[in-house]
Amino acid sequence: MSDPFSTLIGRVLGDPISQFVTLVVLILTARVFARGRPALRFSAHVVFFVMLTVLLIANGVAPWSTDMTAEDLTHRLFLGLAKTTWWIGTAMVLVASVRLFLIFERNPREGRLIQDLLVGIIYVGAALSIIAFVFSLPVGTLIATSGVFAIVLGLALQSTLNDVFSGIALNLGRPYNVGDWIVLDDNVQGRVVETNWRSTHLLSGTNDLIIVPNSALAKARLTNLTAPDEVHGATVTVRMLPTRSPATIEQAMQAVLLSANSILKSPPPSVSIVGMDSSGVDVELSFRVSGISKIAAARNEIYDLAYRHAKAAGIQLGPPVNASAGIVQVQDATSKHPGTPWRLLSSIGLFSTLTEDERENLAQEMKRLTFKQDVVIAPQDAALTSLMIVRSGVVVVEREIEGVMSEITRLAPGDLFGERGVLMGAVEPARMRALTFVVVYEISKEVLAGVMRDRPGLAEELGLLLTRRVESEIHLSNDLRQSADQHPTSITARIRHLFQVPHSGH
């Protein structure tokens, strides 16, 4: 007596319909378990396709033939379903092959587009094959008779199709990539955050999302501000009174670009005299920054440095064009004190709390030093005993690490250095070198100590100055070993202790 279960299994395995249903269940289960694993899914599709092909041919069914030999309706439905499943299985194998093997690592965007186009063609071909070999309909006649419908549908979807084909052209042409900052001819601009078949999404500078149809984008004049790289150019125009020769003004503006830390040194920035009349000289400073987001900070720095270098060179800023008639000259308070040291102290916020008499006394103690170009003002690891104030020129701060000299920052008129050695007796972690002809004024440690005893608040300002300087050097040089014990409060306390400065409240 045979086992009933074995008998049931034998009948199932011998029944083509049961075998077909079993294969379908297995492939659906395999697709669930193979989710996210394209290689495993491809193998499952291939196995399913081969077994289904063997099953149909073993039972005398040719999926590529229109012959339907079954007489009863049930078998005819089964044959139609089996053929349809076979064509779908064929399409799935081809699609899995495209997704797995057709990869463009250097051009993933074009590769994805080609994949989508091939997948669409495969599914359309499978649908036409099902119509021809399963339903026995003349595909050519069907396509011809559906021409009118296609025309009507095309007219109805004209705008959508225009966007789609424009999207294809933009994807192939690649005038921009996700992450690029673009500007359109109607002054619409933003960073590309998404691009699809119908539209491109831009994120503006005010964090607003702008959706531009691809058809409009394909017709617009487009400027890519971040291609071929992130480097971006900018200009700043300043106007000076013609009290000095254009050559002197140009030399002062060259020093502005030399002392700027937020612009690129290569390619070198340039200065151009773009206009001159009886009321002023127009100077254009051209430079480049590493990214479009840094333009505002670079311009702010250039304007500040232009003011400082012009003042150091005795050049006055000019009035706007065609506005000189209404300009009233305001007498500078420093004109009462023609001495350069006094004017230098007055231009530095650190000494703004001093009275005029205190500034005059301090100015009399300051000493003027000059350094030729490329002369080392202070070597690395030197302990300076005087506070140095740059009067004119550009000083470059450089550090030697493992035999390689790297630039940390640059100092312009009004900047100070040497406070580390004067205030704390510490050595300078970098050397100071004259990038141009430099004039500096020095304030000795003893003179500064006397001023701080009279003005205890100056110790706090110097503590903050030293803290900002150390933090800036750490940020620029990425040397985290200097970050210990650099809190403003601790530095100020040490300055008070070393110089025996009372608290400002006493």
Q: pLDDT tens-digit profile of 440-452? A: 999 888 888 888 7
Higher pLDDT, 312 or 34: 312
Place of tokens 């612009």: 263
Helix axes 457-477, 445-454, angle to 10 degrees: 130
Q: What are phi and psi of 272, to 5 degrees?
A: -135, 135
- Of 224, 259, 294, which one is at a domain's C-terminal end? 224
Same domain, 291 and 214: no
Are 485 and 346 found together in one domain? Answer: yes
Is 140 within the bounds of a domain? yes
Token pair listed for 203: 């994120």
Judge whether 167 lies within some domain.
Answer: no
What phi, psi does 263 have (nearest 5°)? -110, 160
What does DSSP assign to residue 297? Answer: H
For residue 478, is it left (φ>0), alpha (ψ between -120 and 50) or beta?
Answer: left
| 398 plus 489 within the same structural domain | yes
pLDDT score at 485: 44
Q: For the domain that residue 254 is a member of, what is the CATH number?
A: 3.30.70.100
| Residue 430: inside a domain | yes
Cβ atoms of 255 and 435 within 8 Å: the answer is no
CATH code at position 379: 2.60.120.10
Which helix (H) or strand (E) segment is 238 a member of?
A: strand 232-240
Evaluate whether residue 151 is within a structural domain: no
Containing domain of residue 309, as a range? 232-320
| Residues 292 and 359 occupy one common structural domain | no
**Residue 131 is assigned to a structural domain of this protein:** yes
**pLDDT level of residue 486 (50, 70, 90 thresholds):** very low
- Specify the pLDDT at position 110: 54
Q: Is the pLDDT of residue 381 over 60?
A: yes
Give the pLDDT confidence score for residue 14 in this predicted structure. Answer: 58
List all residues 6 or more positions away from 406 whose beta carbon is below 8 Å from its beta carbon.
398, 399, 400, 477
The rounded distance, in Å, linking the Cα atoms of 404 and 380 is: 13
- The per-residue pLDDT of the chain, averaged, comes to 78
Task: Return the pLDDT at 164.
Answer: 72
Which DSSP helix (H) or strand (E) runs through 268?
none
The per-residue pLDDT for 333 is 46
Peptide bond between residue 213 and the one before it cis (omega within 30 degrees of 0): no
**Residue 125 CB: number of other CB atoms within 10 A?**
14
3-state secondary structure of 199: strand
The end-to-end CA distance of the chain, in Å, is 114
Domain limit, last residue, from 123, 145, 167:
145
Q: What is the mean pLDDT of residues 289-296?
A: 88
Q: For position 189, which CATH number holds?
A: 2.30.30.60
Residue 97 lies in a domain: yes
Report the C-alpha gap between 89 and 53 in whole angstroms: 10
Is a pLDDT exceeding 50 seen at residue 335?
no
Q: What is the DSSP letter of 183?
A: E
How many angstroms separate the most distant Cα atoms in the chain? 127
Helix then strand count (H, E) for the chain reads: 17, 16
More confidently predicted of 441 and 33: 441
Rounded to an integer, the average pLDDT of 100-124 is 68
Confidence of residue 282 (pLDDT cuts 50, 70, 90): very high
Say whether pLDDT at 95 is over 70: yes
- For residues 129 and 200, state if they share a domain: no
How far from 161 is each of 57, 198, 199, 218, CA to CA, in Å?
43, 9, 12, 13
Q: What is the pLDDT of residues 5-23, one digit of tens each?
A: 455 455 545 567 777 788 8
Dihedral of CA 170/176/177/183: which sign? negative
397: which strand partners?
409, 432
Structure-model confidence comparison of residues 70 and 392, the more confident one: 392
Rounded to an integer, the average pLDDT of 54-72 is: 72
CA atoms within 13 A on the CB side of 117: 14
Boundary (domain end) residue, out of 155, 190, 224: 224
Please tell me whether residues 358 and 431 are part of one structural domain.
Answer: yes
Over residues 468-484, the pLDDT tens digits come to: 766 665 655 554 344 43
For residues 435 and 373, the answer to whether their CB atoms sit within 8 Å is: yes
369: tokens are: 């030093």
In whole angstroms, give the CA distance from residue 446 to residue 389: 16
405 strand-pairing partners = 400
Nearest to 444 by CA among 426, 421, 460: 421
- Model confidence at 24: pLDDT above 70: yes
Whole-angstrom CA distances from 147 to 127, 140, 142, 393 are: 17, 11, 9, 79
Q: Does position 308 have pLDDT exceeding 80, yes or no?
A: yes
Identify the sign of the CA torsion 446, 450, 455, 460: positive
Tokens of 33: 């378990």
Whether 108 shows a pLDDT value over 70: the answer reads: no
411 and 417 Cβ atoms separated by less than 8 Å: yes
d(CA 251, CA 310): 10
Residues 217, 76, single domain; the answer is: no
In which band, very low, low, confident or very high, does the pLDDT at 301 lie, cut at 50, 70 and 90? very high
Residue-wise pLDDT tens digits, 409-450: 899 998 888 888 877 788 888 899 999 999 999 988 888 888
DSSP run (H or E) holding 14: helix 4-14
User: What would the pLDDT profile of 234-269 be if each residue is shown by its tens digit?
Assistant: 999 999 999 889 999 999 999 999 999 999 988 899
Phi, psi of 469 (to 5 degrees): -65, -45
Do 415 and 373 lie in one domain? The reply is yes
In angstroms, rounded to a whole number, what is the distance separating the alpha carbons of residues 378 and 419?
13
C-beta separation of 506 from 454 below 8 A: no
Q: Is residue 160 part of a domain?
A: no
CA dihedral over 155, 157, 163, 164, signed as positive or negative:
negative
Q: Does residue 251 sit in the same domain as residue 302?
A: yes
Question: Per the omega criterion (within 30 degrees of 0), is the bond before 267 cis?
Answer: yes
Total domains present in the chain? 4
10 Å Cβ neighbour count for 55? Answer: 17
Note the pLDDT of residue 227: 75
Name the amino acid, one letter, at 70: A
Does one domain contain both 306 and 346? no
Report yes or no on whether pTM surpasses 0.85.
Answer: no
pLDDT of residue 109: 54
Number of residues that this document lists for the chain:
506
The answer to whether residues 471 and 447 belong to one domain is yes
* 199 in a structural domain: yes
Q: Are 450 and 409 contained in the same domain?
A: yes
